[in-house]
Amino acid sequence: MTGRAVLVTGASRGIGRAIATAFAEGGDRVAIHHRDSAALAEQLRDSLPGDGHVVVRADLAAPDEVRAMVDGAADRLGGLHVLVNNAGVFTGHDILETDYEQWQRQWRRTVDTNLLGPANACWCAVRHLREAGGGRIINVSSRGAFRGEPGAPAYGASKAGLNALGQSLAVALAPYGIAVATVAPGFVETDMTNEHLKAERGAQIRAQSPFGRVARPEEIAGAVHWLASPAAEWASGTVVDLNGASYLRT
Ligand code: NAD
């Protein structure tokens, strides 16, 4: 299927940029969401194959902005068939090193962005997907959803919540032809992981996979693109663990 209207959050860079590119290369029209990277988003819009791509802006932690983003994307693309909740924030905060106020701030920012933002985007998008006769929602979670993130507990918890959100909505929305799936990558080479992947720590991280490397954004994008395809309806409710055989060695 081509010519669908697809909204990708956090699409100006990293995994989101690769996802937007995969949909455009497949013949779809993409709404490229950003928060504060208009120039990058516009540059991507102008470089994507095909016509009709648009740029939309929102702080995902602001519910009114999320609604305006989804409705604006649907309005400008002439409907909506696919929502990809990709944007997210990683906040490291050691429970023993963080004071109580910082702890509150980090949790609120992380949960507002990684869980409430996607939940609100789903609420708004579902109205448009139903109008289109069905559609797809794909959420970008993390390996941290399965095992937690010791130095970033709000991140792991927010992503575990995202997994459960996808499973809940997969059941609720199947009768309307809407399939909902989740991808849970481990380390991917992006701005989010730049620091982690340096020097000795980087070597340790790469060694976790028997391939001796971390993922490229395009490898996550390929899975998202397939999960959003008509062939993947039966994958609804799944959480796809994209980790290059990491964590399997005894
Ligand atoms: P990234 O930092 O390059 O991209 C994250 C995007 O989210 C950015 O464009 C940022 O502006 C946007 N964003 C953050 N907070 C926002 C907010 N409040 N409102 C609007 N936009 C906001 O990182 P990435 O690696 O491309 O991450 C994409 C997704 O993949 C995230 O959800 C991340 O948690 C997830 N993920 C990444 C990795 C990895 O190793 N890079 C691993 C697992 C999961």
Contact 132, 79 (CB under 8 A): yes
Task: State the distance from the centre of ligand 1 to the C-alpha of 224, rounded, in angstroms.
Answer: 15
Atom 32 of ligand 1, residue of closest alpha carbon:
88
Closest CA to 139 of 43, 4, 236, 209: 236
Q: Express each pLDDT in 182-197 by its tens digit.
A: 999 999 999 999 998 9
> What span, in angstroms and rounded, lies between the C-alpha atoms of 93 and 241?
25
**Which of the four pLDDT bands, split at 50, 70 and 90, describes residue 248?**
confident
> What span, in angstroms and rounded, lies between the C-alpha atoms of 136 and 236?
9
The pLDDT value recorded for residue 217 is 98
Q: Is 190 in the pocket of ligand 1 (CB under 6 A)?
A: yes
- At 80, the amino acid letter reads L
> What span, in angstroms and rounded, lies between the C-alpha atoms of 97 and 77?
47
Atom 8 of ligand 1, residue of closest alpha carbon:
10
State both tokens at 168.
């809940």
Task: State the distance from the centre of ligand 1 to the C-alpha of 89, rounded, in angstroms.
Answer: 5
Ligand 1 pocket test: which of 149, 182, 190 has the largest number of ligand atoms within 8 Å of its C-beta? 190
What backbone phi and psi angles, to 5 degrees, belong to 226?
-65, -45
Domain 5-242 in CATH 3.40.50.10170? The answer is no
Q: Express each pLDDT in 131-167 by its tens digit.
A: 999 999 999 999 999 989 889 999 999 999 999 999 9
Q: Is 144 in the pocket of ligand 1 (CB under 6 A)?
A: no
Which residues are within 8 A (CB) of 187 and not within 5 positions of it... i.e. 6 or more apart? 193, 196, 197, 205, 208, 214, 215
- Mean pLDDT score, 215-220: 98
Q: Is 221 in the pocket of ligand 1 (CB under 6 A)?
A: no
Task: State the distance from the centre of ligand 1 to the C-alpha of 177, rounded, in angstroms.
Answer: 28
Percent of the residues in the chain that have a pLDDT greater than 70, as a whole number: 99
Per DSSP, helices labelled H in 37-175 are 38-47, 63-77, 100-111, 117-131, 144-147, 153-173
In the chain, % helix, strand, coil (3-state, to 5) comes to: 50, 15, 35
The pLDDT value recorded for residue 1 is 55
Report helix angle 14-25 to 217-227, nearest 10. 50
Is residue 176 annotated as a catalytic residue, yes or no? Answer: no
- Mean pLDDT score, 14-31: 98
Q: Is 193 in the pocket of ligand 1 (CB under 6 A)?
A: yes
Atom 39 of ligand 1, residue of closest alpha carbon:
188
Task: State the distance from the centre of ligand 1 to the C-alpha of 198, rounded, in angstroms.
Answer: 19
Closest CA to 8 of 96, 90, 104, 118: 118
The pLDDT value recorded for residue 188 is 97
